[in-house]
Every structure is written in structure tokens, then in C-alpha cells.
Chains A and B, each alone.
Chain A
Amino acid sequence: MPDGPVHVEGEVVATKRIGGYRHLTLTAPGIPERFRAGSFVALTVDGHVTRRAFWVHRVRALSALGPTLDVVLETRGSGTARLATLPVGAKVAITGPLGRPFALPKDAVSCLLVGEGYAAAPLFPLAERLRERGCSVSLVVSAPDEAHLLSALEARRSARSVTVLTADGSVGLRGTVADHAADLVARSEADVVYAAGPHDVLHAVASAAEAAGAWSQVAIESPTPCGTGLCHGCPLPVVGEDGVDRVVRACTEGPVVRGDRVRWDAL
């Protein structure tokens, strides 16, 4: 199977409301086979010039319809609203997998995965890959409230330990990732910390990891009008390997980058 993204016509094979989100299961010939945890897909919306990018929550290699992928969608505007109403059988143009995925450790180390809201999606396929490599996986899923918590039940199947955080305390621990990051990193004794969510969550996790001497990898969510590296519309300020400040493309050089390379104050 060659590397690199493809642009294909897919089909909605299932659509389901779950809490505050909609899950779409899509066929997308060639994309599930190429997918690696942390890469994303972009969906074309009729009548809109730019595309909408989504994290991939799950990939099924085998189903009655062939390989499929699930994306989690939160309605944000007219484009996502339109995608959320796609019925089963609707055709949709899909590009992917896009971007740099999470890097996996060579050895069986201990890993902490922290996700907030729908952005926790890529951590589930990541947890599976890590477990296959013998890594011990601790998972933290957080959200403002229970309706925006992604798959807490499924999380228990994917990880050795699961912590649930809600800002309003409706389930699990009360508080935000920022409140608990230092503690969670310390308790997990993680060698590598992975995070996906809004910038403040990523920053908190990356700082806690750095303080604890762990590597961190963060999946940055930025507006990505094309998602394919063509438009330069997704500036991500980083520090290069050479120590020089740069602006790279979040969709191409990201979405996953080392937490200690992000210039958080310039985001």
C-alpha cells in the first residue's frame, strides 16, 4: 500500500448521535488502509469552498462494506451542520489520511493519553497501537460536561487505567485538565505523554510532561481550510530542531508535533 493521502468518493454507511456529537461511519476507499493514529481526514461540503477536517475515531479493517472509518463531528457552523445531516447512503468526497500522525515509542514504555471533548478521538486508535506494542496505557478523557465526554466506556477497554474529568463534575473528577495535569503525569509515571484537545489543554499537558521529564506529543487543532498543505492558511509557530523560531503548516508539518516545540505564547 503506497503512503500518502488520496482524494476519493466515500459513502455514509451509518450516522448516529452520541451525546453532543454525531458519529459518521464512512467508506473511503484506500483511506482506512493508510490511516495512522493522529492523522485526519478532510470532507468536502457542497456549496463551501473550504473543507472541514475531522479526527478519525476508529478504523475498521473489515466490515460487510469493506474498510470503514468513523469521524466525530461537533456542529460549529453551516458546513458541519450540513455534514451532520448527511443521511445513510449519501456520497461525500474525502481526502486523507492527512498530516503527521503520532510517533510510537520503540520500546514498551508507559504512556499517558489525555484528550478533551471530541478531540480525544485519535487517542483511541493510538491506545490500540500502543497496547499492541506492549506499552502500558493510562487514559484521561475530559470535557466540560457529560454530553461532551467521548466514549468513556470504550476507554475502559482501551487502557489499563482511565480517569474521567468533567469541568462541571457531572461525572468523574471535577475540574479541567489544567487543574490536574501535573498530578496525572506524576501518577502515571509516563515516559511519553500524548494529548489532543484545545490549545490550553495541550499547553498544560506539555508543560507538565516537560516538568516531569517525559516526552510529549500534542495533536494541534487549527483551522485548516484545505488540510492538504496547499494554502498556507494554517500557521503553527514552532521552534525548529535548530532552535530557530519558525512558522510551519499545522496540516502538513502537524497536526502532531512535540509539545516542547510549540511556541504556545504565539499561538
Chain B
Amino acid sequence: MSAALPGPVMVAAGCGGTGRELEPYAGPAGLVGLDLVTRSITLDPRPGGPGPRLAEVPGGLVNAVGLPNPGLGHFLATELPWLVRAGVRVHVSIAGATMGEYAELAGRLSTAPGVAGIEVNVGAPDEAGAGVLEVREPYHAASVVAAVRREFPADRPVLAKLRPDVSRIVEGARTCHEAGATAIVVGNAVPAAFADGRPGGLSGPAVAPIALRCVATVRDALPAVPTIGCGGVRDVASARAYLEAGATAVQVGTALLHDPTTVARLRASLAAHPPEETA
């Protein structure tokens, strides 16, 4: 099995709108060849959670957005073709209520023209919301990855996105990789709370050192497992820190909300790191 890894700079799930909104800020190269992870797509449309969904805290953001998305059918009919026409390499983040839903999502995406890869969100900071399977336990996460992998062509990547939990990351990375994940995205939002105690996830510069520790830990324990760093990437230095710790790529999320041109600038600066092949 061989699947080309995306990178070195990707747009992280949930921070690229529908993809279209990035176009004005994409720079002279436009969206062509941009590795974009969509917001998580579910079978049925979801309105997302109530406001306020995001709150600024020192060093980052607390969010509880609730996976708003138009559902797979609408996504396939409208957003995906637009992205494909724009030349985007589309990695669809998926979330399901049951193992069967993950398999169905992966199966339908496997035949949709232009889907470069899938990212399975198996490390949400909390229950991602009503109607989404709880898959943070490494065993469950691996079962979901295996179900997705069975439905999705072997020559296209399936990424497993785990939250940066230093005590569990090696186990999670190993089980998901054994279950068929091409690479492990290290760095979901970290469990946190809004000022009123409402649960959410913390992202942004504050989590970069945590995710970096996880990337280094996985590299040391599982040198054959490719990782993608995600958390607090905002400039060349923060991106290189991940690459030097062994990540094959980085994902940019929260920084896009601060400066929508961040990905374009990083793509231009890091073009020297080409995507790699895994055996």
C-alpha cells in the first residue's frame, strides 16, 4: 500500500470555512494544490451549537462550534465540485454517529470525483455533539479508522486526527496506524472551558508546545509512523519546529482567523519541503 502524504502546509479542519472564503487570501498561486481539510462533514446536515461558539483567551481560543455542516449530500453536490475546480486537494474530515456511518461516509467519498483523502476526527476535546460517536479511546478510534480504510482506496491517504494528550498519544498513534491510517494528525483542541464553565476546546499558540511534545514522543516511540503537527502554527518558525521534531507536514488553523493569508505565506516559505512518500 502506498499513499502520498499531503503537505508540508495544510489547512486544518474547521478553520477554512467552505474553502471558498480562502480564495481572496490565497496569494498569486491561488488555491491550486492547496491541501485543505474540510470542516467535519456528517451524513445529515447539522446546524452547529449555540453562540457564543468561540471565546478569545490569552494565547488562543476556546471553541464549541458543534460541527456545523450541510451534510454529505449537499457537500458533494456543491462545495466539493467548487473546490475541485479551484484545484484544491480536498481532504474531507468526517464524523459519524455509528461505525456504519463512518463506513458509509468513506464509501461515498471514495467514488466522489476529486477527493484527495479523508481525515477521521478521533480526538475531539469532548463529545463532539449529539449524534457523533465517541471515539477517543484508542481501541474505538482504531476500529473507526479500520472501517474507513476498508471503504477508501489504498492509494489515497486516511489521516487520523488525535488530540495532543501526552499520556495516550503513542497508544493512539500506534493503534490508528495499525488500523490503516496513513499518518497521524497530532493536535486537536485540548479540553478546556469557557469562562462560565461550559466545556470547549482550546486551540492556538497555547497548545503548540503540547502538540510538539506529542509529535516528538511519537517520533521517538514509533519512528515509522508519519505525523502531521497541528496546533499554534502561525509562522515559519512555529511550522519548522514541528518539521524538525519529525512531522511530515503541519496544519494551520487558529492562525487563519487572525490572518487569513497565513497559509499562503507559509506555503511560499516552506515550498522547499516537498511531500514525501510512505511505503
Contact = CB atoms under 8 A, between A and B. Distances in A.
Given A7-B259, A228-B260, 7 more contacts: A44-B258, A229-B20, A230-B16, A230-B17, A231-B257, A235-B68, A247-B47
B257 A50 contact: yes
A134 interface: no
Interface residues of A, number: 27
Interface in B23-55: 23-25, 39, 47-54
B256 A230 contact: yes
The number of chain B residues touching the other chain, given as a range, is 35 or more
Contacts of A231: 14-15, 17, 54, 63, 65, 257
A235 B50 contact: yes
Given A49-B60, A50-B54, A231-B54, A226 B257 contact: yes
Contacts of B256: 226, 230
Contact of B21 (A44, A51, A223, A230): A230
Interface of B: 14-18, 20-25, 39, 47-54, 56, 59-61, 63, 65, 68, 204-205, 254, 256-261
18 contacts: A6-B24, A7-B25, A7-B259, A48-B258, A50-B257, A50-B258, A51-B258, A79-B56, A225-B61, A225-B257, A228-B17, A229-B17, A231-B63, A231-B257, A232-B53, A234-B53, A235-B49, A235-B51
Nearest to B54: A233
Contacts of A68: none
Contacts of B51: 222-223, 233-235
Interface in A213-267: 222-223, 225-226, 228-235, 246-247, 252
A4 interface: yes
A222 B51 CA distance: 9
B35 to A, nearest CB: 16
- What DSSP secondary structure best describes chain B's contact surface? loop
B151 to A, nearest CB: 27
A52 to B, nearest CB: 10
A263 to B, nearest CB: 11
- What DSSP secondary structure best describes chain A's contact surface? loop
Given A226-B256, A235-B51, A247-B47, A7 B261 contact: yes
A25 interface: no
Nearest to A93: B259
A67 B147 CA distance: 57
A175 interface: no
A29 interface: no
Given A48-B56, A49-B204, A232 B258 contact: no
Contacts of A233: 51-54, 63, 65, 257
A232 B38 CA distance: 12
Contacts of A247: 47-48, 68
Contact of B15 (A222, A230, A234, A252): A230
A6 B264 CA distance: 13
A206 B68 CA distance: 27
Nearest to B21: A229
B203 to A, nearest CB: 9
Contacts of B56: 48-50, 79, 225
